[in-house]
Amino acid sequence: MKLPVRLREEAEFDLAEAATWYESQLSGLGNDFLDSVLEAFEHIGGNSEAYPMVHRSTDRALLSRFPFAVFYRVVESEIVVVVVMHGSRHPARWKTRT
């Protein structure tokens, strides 16, 4: 069963900030980043158990093309994305949101 994916407000901000940065580096790269994230959301929605639990009940999915991770929780009948974060950021940043 495919679960809907919902982003918390902070995760939406993370996503917009990263896409804006990539777009400033190369025209079209921001859209490529967003496509990669949406692809991850699709996979998470259909296969949420495929990714490792990294903290409490928070799982992590790595993007294939970009050095970012999607941290999410399965809450009742939906996926809640709590943070979209660059891999080099300190883990305490996302743990405070869980």
- Which range marks the domain in which residue 60 is found? 5-95
For residue 25, give every residue at least 6 positions away whose Cβ sits within 8 Å of its Cβ, in sequence order, or none. none
Domain count along the chain: 1
Provide the pLDDT for residue 75.
93
> Is the sign of the CA dihedral 25, 88, 32, 30 positive or negative?
negative
Provide the pLDDT for residue 98.
58
Q: What proportion of the chain, given as a percentage, has pLDDT over 70?
A: 90
| pLDDT tens column, 2-46 | 999 999 999 999 999 999 999 999 999 999 999 999 999 999 999
| pLDDT tens column, 53-80 | 998 889 999 999 999 999 999 999 999 9
For residue 21, the domain's CATH number is 3.30.2310.20
Provide the pLDDT for residue 9.
95
Structure tokens at 97: 């949101």
